Amino acid sequence: MNRPSTRRTVRALLTAALAATALTAPAAPSLAQEASQEAALTRDLDLTGTEVALLRAAESEAMDREEELSAVLGSDFGGVYLAPETGEVTVAVTDPAAVPVVEQSGATAQVVTFGETALNDFVDSLNAVADRADEQITGWYTDLAADTVVITAFPGGSAAAEELAALAGVDERAVRVTESAARPQLFADVIGGNPYYFGGYRCSIGFSVRRGSDTGFATAGHCGETGTLTRSPEGVVAGSYFPGRDMGWVRLTGADTVTPLVNRYDGGTVTVTGSQEAVTGSSVCRSGSTTGWRCGIIQSKNQTVRYAEGTVTGLTRTTACAEAGDSGGPWLTGSQAQGVTSGGSGNCRTGGITYFQPINPLLSYFGLELVTG
């Protein structure tokens, strides 16, 4: 991760947030929890305490704008993000006539050609031909700020990416290709360690969940097929969806008690209070049994990743680091659950990109209820 660049981006966001008097900081679960999250954001995003508070306020405002304006604008709504260029909450619209509605809400409007719905449709089209993608292509995702679909490929893979886009029928105006030598990999590891095991593997516990009288935890789908037995805690994989998606859950069979807590790896915990989805550009922190508590920025949603084990769709792309054994671990913005770790590239020494499976689709797919405080 380019820390100076990240710092400039976040500082711009915070400067705008400070000037926006309508922004109010979300309530923290406790002073101790907020202090620990502030420390992690200070470390990973290079922020001051004041900047962290302003970032929280901007993220809360962005979530509210997304909920309110998507309902008001209907088909003219193109998505919401924290704009890196201005630091303001930006609402994309596909009709110039919708601009006054956005501006009256206090947000910045951006008129776009495609918007979030169309970009997601393009991703679906690419997903439909994923099995015909060249090995040079590593994935694709939406970039709301640029109003494009980005196809990632190894060096020299641009032509293959453009051919895939044409095959999928994606409007060429919506396509951007980026090349990188980074190879995405899953973050499971064959080692002896905590926090839970299956066979000779280790993954990280996600969020506590309930389904009827059963209790358990959400995790990544690649962390065990359905029916796989787990140890520490004792359980069985009750549902697994991988590849395609990377979602799963473990039903506890031992005497363990579920809680709404997430380990910060500093002796404290975060109490999960809900699963409101953060917008693109928000900060996000993750917990994992290998690298502990790490933070970054949500770069994009609806990322498709072509792992060696299979293609996974619908992931969220972040700048937070992770390593082998962190798979399945929880992601939060404030106290709101965001997802569970899937995989990525890089590490926590040099930085990298990490993807998570969003939590709400996981809960819905398996009919689970998130355990909250």
Clarify whether residues 207 and 329 are in a common domain: yes
Tens digit of pLDDT per residue, the chain (373 long)? 333 444 444 444 444 433 332 333 334 456 777 777 788 989 998 888 888 888 888 899 899 999 999 999 999 999 999 864 456 799 999 999 999 999 999 899 999 999 999 999 999 999 999 999 999 999 999 999 999 999 999 999 999 999 999 999 999 999 999 999 998 988 754 322 248 999 889 999 999 999 999 999 999 999 999 999 999 889 999 999 999 999 999 999 988 889 999 999 888 889 999 999 999 999 999 999 999 999 999 999 999 999 999 999 999 999 999 999 999 999 999 999 999 999 999 999 999 999 999 999 999 999 999 999 9
Choose one of 121, 153, 179: the last residue of a domain.
179
Among 60, 289, 327, 345, which one carries the catalytic annotation? 327
For residue 186, list its beta bridge partners. Answer: 343
Clarify whether residues 27 and 136 are in a common domain: no
Q: How many residues does the chain have?
A: 373
pLDDT at 9: 45
Clarify whether residues 174 and 211 are in a common domain: no
Q: What is the pTM of this model?
A: 0.83
Clarify whether residues 161 and 188 are in a common domain: no
The 10 Å Cβ neighbour count of residue 120 is 17
Clarify whether residues 104 and 78 are in a common domain: yes
Among 64, 208, 222, 275, which one carries the catalytic annotation? 222
Q: Read off the CATH number of the domain in which 137 is found.
A: 3.30.300.50
Q: Over the range 140-164, which residues count as b (16 or more CB within 10 Å of their CB) and which as e? A: bbbbbbebbbbbbbbeebbebbbeb
Clarify whether residues 198 and 322 are in a common domain: yes
Residue with tokens 């929880």: 330
Clarify whether residues 42 and 189 are in a common domain: no
Question: Range of 345's domain?
Answer: 182-373
What is the count of structural domains for the chain? Answer: 3
The answer to whether residue 266 is catalytic is no
The answer to whether residue 256 is catalytic is no
What's the burial of 292, exposed, middle or buried (CB within 10 Å: 0-12/13-18/19+)? middle
Clarify whether residues 71 and 166 are in a common domain: no
pLDDT at 71: 95
Among 44, 189, 246, 326, which one carries the catalytic annotation? 246
Q: How far apart are CA 279 and CA 11, in angstroms?
A: 18
Q: 114: helix, coil or strand?
A: coil
Q: Torsions phi, psi of 88, nearest 5?
A: -100, 160
Choose one of 53, 82, 111: the last residue of a domain.
111
Choose one of 121, 155, 179: the last residue of a domain.
179
Residue 175 covered by a domain: yes
Clarify whether residues 224 and 346 are in a common domain: yes
What's the burial of 115, exposed, middle or buried (CB within 10 Å: 0-12/13-18/19+)? buried
